[in-house]
Amino acid sequence: MSSERLIYLALGGAGEIGMNAYVYGYGVPGKERLILVDIGVTFPNMDSSPGVDLIYADIAWLEERRDRLEAIFITHAHEDHVGALGLAWQRLRAPVYARPFTALHACRKMEERGQDPAMITVVEPWPHRIEAGPFTVSFLPVSHSIPESSSMVIDTPAGRIVHTGDFKLDPTPLVGEPFDRALWEEVAKPGVKVLACDSTNVFSPHPGRSEATLGPAIRQLVERAPRMVVATTFASNIARVRTLAIAGREAGRSVCLMGRAMRRMIEAGVESGVLTDFPPTVPPEMAAGIPRENLMLVVTGSQGERRAASAQLSRGKYLGLELKEGDLFLFSSKTIPGNERDVLRIVNSFSEMGVDVVDDGADLYHVSGHANRPDLSTIHKLMAPQMVVPMHGEHRHLREHVKLAAENGLAAALAPNGTMLDLTGAVPVVAGHVETGRTYLDGKVQIGALDGVVRDRIRMALNGHVTVTLILDEDDTPLGEPWVELSGLPETVPGGAPLSGVLEQALERFLARADDRLLTDEDLLEKDLRILARRTTENEIGKRPEVTVVISRLS
Amino acid sequence: MSSERLIYLALGGAGEIGMNAYVYGYGVPGKERLILVDIGVTFPNMDSSPGVDLIYADIAWLEERRDRLEAIFITHAHEDHVGALGLAWQRLRAPVYARPFTALHACRKMEERGQDPAMITVVEPWPHRIEAGPFTVSFLPVSHSIPESSSMVIDTPAGRIVHTGDFKLDPTPLVGEPFDRALWEEVAKPGVKVLACDSTNVFSPHPGRSEATLGPAIRQLVERAPRMVVATTFASNIARVRTLAIAGREAGRSVCLMGRAMRRMIEAGVESGVLTDFPPTVPPEMAAGIPRENLMLVVTGSQGERRAASAQLSRGKYLGLELKEGDLFLFSSKTIPGNERDVLRIVNSFSEMGVDVVDDGADLYHVSGHANRPDLSTIHKLMAPQMVVPMHGEHRHLREHVKLAAENGLAAALAPNGTMLDLTGAVPVVAGHVETGRTYLDGKVQIGALDGVVRDRIRMALNGHVTVTLILDEDDTPLGEPWVELSGLPETVPGGAPLSGVLEQALERFLARADDRLLTDEDLLEKDLRILARRTTENEIGKRPEVTVVISRLS
């Protein structure tokens, strides 16, 4: 018994904000029974993952040990916590537990990837308990920017873990459960060994504000708007969508929700019972017939996503509706770092239409869903854990959260993805390192981030592509001339000659001098032609393209 | 005489922050004599211009009229104002005027593109006047984040134009000339017809702060740092580099400048006489020998540029120096929107090294070089122009600046790139629209942004590339089988078969059924094979690649 241990291992989420995947284990080293908390996605970008559809944590380590995996728990329905469930489940095949609203989304994630949604068990919150090998797990309601978020209370033979998931201390979140101090005190009472804690807002110095503080300012803004009002926020922030819709109704406007994700979220809210008092809305196909000064749209796309409703409206008519001079567009959201360019593109398009854009520059129209620095200290003190394990953050957030824990007199460990912690003793100890990384869903195929596929695409994006084809006859003699096709390269060199012609001449001159040894050595010839094509392109136009050489032999 | 007119036309800079290029003209419509103020670059990004080296305004309109171009004036030495001089000059061939420090950079821009730097005339500031056709132009010193910035005072038969260039109202900029109210009053006295005005910070509600306010906070930070200190800022912000260096010296540290751009800027400052009291520094090759607690580096790369010193240090040892646990890294800069991802990558790398990163979150270590909203109002009132033409801003900035001018009781016009204004009358009138756009420097070649070259690269980045080769014999019959090569695509389809093999089989089946008409029609066959390869790839792996088909005929 004394040789058993309690381990923690982030496969994703500790080193980025996104693709959360946390493993806990208990047992004899190397034979621990395991549970997984969350299995989310992160989103690709042109810089590092062009063309990729979704990204999630490399779960190879867990897949190899899936006979030891007892269960998967989903804390809440955000994409970075549940988005990869369908992709991962076919590799892990463990029972999944979630509360009703979250389970609705989890089921869809399973169905989208052809997996059986019946593998998901809908559970009641604390004090209901789920047995999973050596673990006993409860879903502890907590406030966040989506209903029914839960912290995991994980009891183990080594003590109690509280895994916060995403949370804030909001006494009035409007939709979903408020932060209930008494409940958390009850959880803390027997003593907490480990607090695995959200780090997102550790750099935000002021206490977080409640969702309920936004209503008056939003209402005032909508009331004063002379023409059409359009507001965007995160589709999953049901409380905010409701606040916006109520503001519209109270200003005497018909409210229309646009964007599939938002409509689906509201439906799921009603279906699961977390949303009981959403104001009436009109369907998009009716909205175009309503006088614009009586209309308010609540739309998807607060991050500038190109296919979402905000971006569609910024490009012109969408579902029969069009923004015009004097309309108001409200970002009831913040721009997630990295999305600035996409968001500003939309703002400038609206500016060209004469639309007045209001953002959250003055902190009036948005509050964060995560606990700020003072709120983290509040939880540290309330839980009084033996140790803190910062999670859900980039490296800088984790590091700062370790410092904050130290300020609060608590032991803490900086454990980014792949760092396995042994939590059995009085302080966290690094127990090893596991190779982690990212898995890309690329079309229908799952590939590794380092497989080279995306690297080749980035190279083509930076340098263009040249195809060289050459036919060799039965005597290994070039038949006709080599042929060059360009993709993503200028057609002419400075001076005006066609680049393909210049390359073909260089290749021809080279082949005229090539001896039999070279012409019969497939690999060497291919390599020489590739290098020559690249070097000539570089000399002529200053770019080093990717080159595909195809040599056909008639022999 | 009454038929002559004064026109304004932005070719770049009015619709983006970057690639400034403003044309003024005076004369009979269609025969106006022209001057160009500034010819700058903007920088490419992976989203919209992968692989491109530099971007500047499409100057085709001006090039077609270069016989009417009297002169080019450069307001200051920032890349977005002077960076394209060498590229554009070979197409425009007009005399260039700049003050000494600016001229040093302008000369280098000419030399870099093989142009004669003797085309640049170094000029004295106001009240010195340059005659350029119907225009008389003076360089009016103004404060900004680089020395020797100037507004242009442009006298025309229709009245006086004040073209602010980039500016702020800083009475103590430390390096370069302070904002001199008396001088501006002198300029305003005869009456100003047009104020063409910087719009960058129109959304910043508080009066701008002086460069001189930063010293104490920076000094305190450096003094308290226990180990090595590294600070980054914009290389061209000589005043800031000096403040940082002085802070290092005062804390008893040896100061080392790292990064070519920064060293060159300081040299230019000394050479041109604008910088007279820069503290002594040690060269990078000596820095590694100095105890780290006695060392302060001032480095390039505040925007996360991958080849600059900051990024190099974030990846490990650079020029013999390496950051370690407990070192301090200061961003004495703000992150320009769009660069967040690159900057945060560096911050997280430093976090992994245990380096404490300080940014300007608390407004202690950086001030902007542009006039904030109240400062713009100050200039509006001081100049009391007949009309305001907002420039140097994205569309949203220009639009807001027009509103601000209206608040201040001034006529104004929203004139983004390509909108020609007639400024002859009492209010600006739109006189026409000119096709504008962007020219890319791609390697050594200048291409149009809409030429399709970059579009093809983006498509390859998103979808990958397939090469199909086919040989037809003398009878137009396929010789052997079609051959497929993949770039940037997964090698196997779900199920495990090789994608290239699957494609080859599909192409082969198609060719087996192809009739003579198709096999002899080059274009149709190429098109059919391309469509089949794309559609099959889409069915198999869910991606629609770019396809190059090469058909070789032995006939």
Beta strands B429-433; B445-448: pairing state: unpaired
Query: Does residue B514 sit in helix, strand or coil?
Result: coil
Cα–Cα dist B448/B438, whole Å = 6
Question: Along the 555 residues of chain B, how does pLDDT read in single tens digits?
Answer: 459 999 999 999 999 999 999 999 999 999 999 999 999 999 999 999 999 999 999 999 999 999 999 999 999 999 999 999 999 999 999 999 999 999 999 999 999 999 999 999 999 999 999 999 999 999 999 999 999 999 999 999 999 999 999 999 999 999 999 999 999 999 999 999 999 999 999 999 999 999 999 999 999 999 999 999 999 999 999 999 999 999 999 999 999 999 999 999 999 999 999 999 999 999 999 999 999 999 999 999 999 999 999 999 999 999 999 999 999 999 999 999 999 999 999 999 999 999 999 998 888 999 999 999 999 999 999 999 999 999 999 999 999 999 999 999 999 999 999 999 999 999 999 999 999 999 999 999 999 999 999 999 999 999 999 999 999 998 999 998 999 999 999 999 999 999 999 999 999 999 999 999 999 999 999 999 999 999 999 999 999 999 999 999 887
Contact A464 B453 (CB under 8 A): yes
The closest alpha carbon to A548, from A499, A486, A473, belongs to A486
* B399, B468, B526, B547: best to mutate for the A interface, most A CBs within 10 A: B399
Q: Minimal Cα distance from B542: which residue of A?
A: A443
Nearest to B352 among A53, A395, A462 (CB): A395
B464 interaction partners in chain A (CB closer than 8 Å): 51, 453, 456-457
Residue with the two structure tokens 């242009």: B152
A469 interaction partners in chain B (CB closer than 8 Å): 469, 550, 552
A444 interaction partners in chain B (CB closer than 8 Å): 494, 540-542
Nearest to A460 among B338, B457, B483 (CB): B457
Nearest to A541 among B203, B444, B485 (CB): B444
Contact B445 A541 (CB under 8 A): yes
Contact A396 B489 (CB under 8 A): no
Query: Does residue B277 sit in helix, strand or coil?
Result: coil
Q: Which residues of chain A have pLDDT under 70?
A: 1-2
E strand intervals along B274-386: 295-299, 328-331, 356-358
> Please, which residues have CB within 8 angstroms of residue A411's CB and are 6 or more apart in sequence?
A386, A387, A388, A405, A426, A427, A428
Cα–Cα dist B368/B169, whole Å = 11
Cα–Cα dist A467/A177, whole Å = 60
B45 interaction partners in chain A (CB closer than 8 Å): 46, 341
Q: Minimal Cα distance from A52: which residue of B?
A: B462
- CA quadruple B467, B471, B476, B479: dihedral sign: negative
Contact A490 B453 (CB under 8 A): yes
Q: Minimal Cα distance from A359: which residue of B?
A: B203
The closest alpha carbon to B165, from B188, B189, B182, B141, belongs to B141
Contact B467 A548 (CB under 8 A): yes
The closest alpha carbon to A13, from A447, A418, A468, A409, belongs to A418
Contact B541 A471 (CB under 8 A): no
The per-residue pLDDT for A5 is 98
Contact B457 A464 (CB under 8 A): yes
Contact B338 A340 (CB under 8 A): yes
* B396, B455, B471, B483: best to mutate for the A interface, most A CBs within 10 A: B396
Contact B552 A395 (CB under 8 A): no
B480 with B464: CB under 8 angstroms? no
Contact A348 B396 (CB under 8 A): yes
Nearest to B351 among A357, A399, A463 (CB): A399
* A202, A465, A468, A553: best to mutate for the B interface, most B CBs within 10 A: A465
The Cα of A156 is separated from the nearest Cα of chain B by a number of Å equal to: 31
The per-residue pLDDT for A362 is 83
B416 interaction partners in chain A (CB closer than 8 Å): 352
The per-residue pLDDT for B554 is 86
Contact A467 B548 (CB under 8 A): yes
The closest alpha carbon to B308, from B249, B256, B234, B255, belongs to B234
Across the A:B interface, residue pairs with CB atoms under 8 Å apart total 205
* B395, B403, B417, B540: best to mutate for the A interface, most A CBs within 10 A: B395
The Cα of B530 is separated from the nearest Cα of chain A by a number of Å equal to: 14
> May I ask the CATH architecture of the domain A5-206+368-448?
4-Layer Sandwich (3.60)
The Cα of B519 is separated from the nearest Cα of chain A by a number of Å equal to: 19
The Cα of A187 is separated from the nearest Cα of chain B by a number of Å equal to: 33
Domain range list for chain A: 5-206+368-448, 211-358, 464-553
Contact B50 A399 (CB under 8 A): no
β-strand partners of A484: A468
Contact B462 A489 (CB under 8 A): no
The per-residue pLDDT for A554 is 86
> May I ask the CATH architecture of the domain A464-553?
Roll (3.10)
For A77-127, give the secondary structure using H, E and C.
Answer: CCHHHHCCHHHHHHHHCCCEEECHHHHHHHHHHHHHCCCCHHHEEECCCCC
pLDDT in tens, B266-302: 999 999 999 999 999 999 999 999 999 999 999 999 9
Q: What is the DSSP letter of B534?
A: H
β-strand partners of A487: A465
Task: Copy the structure tokens of residue A509.
Answer: 């001159």
Q: Which CATH superfamily is domain B211-358 in?
A: Metallo-hydrolase/oxidoreductase (3.40.50.10710)
Cα–Cα dist B87/B40, whole Å = 10
Assign residue A311 a region: left if phi > 0, alpha if psi is -120 to 50, beta otherwise? alpha
B46 interaction partners in chain A (CB closer than 8 Å): 45-47, 50, 461
Contact A550 B399 (CB under 8 A): no
Buried b (16+ CB within 10 A) or exposed e, B348-359: bbbbebebbbbb
B445 interaction partners in chain A (CB closer than 8 Å): 490, 492-494, 541-542
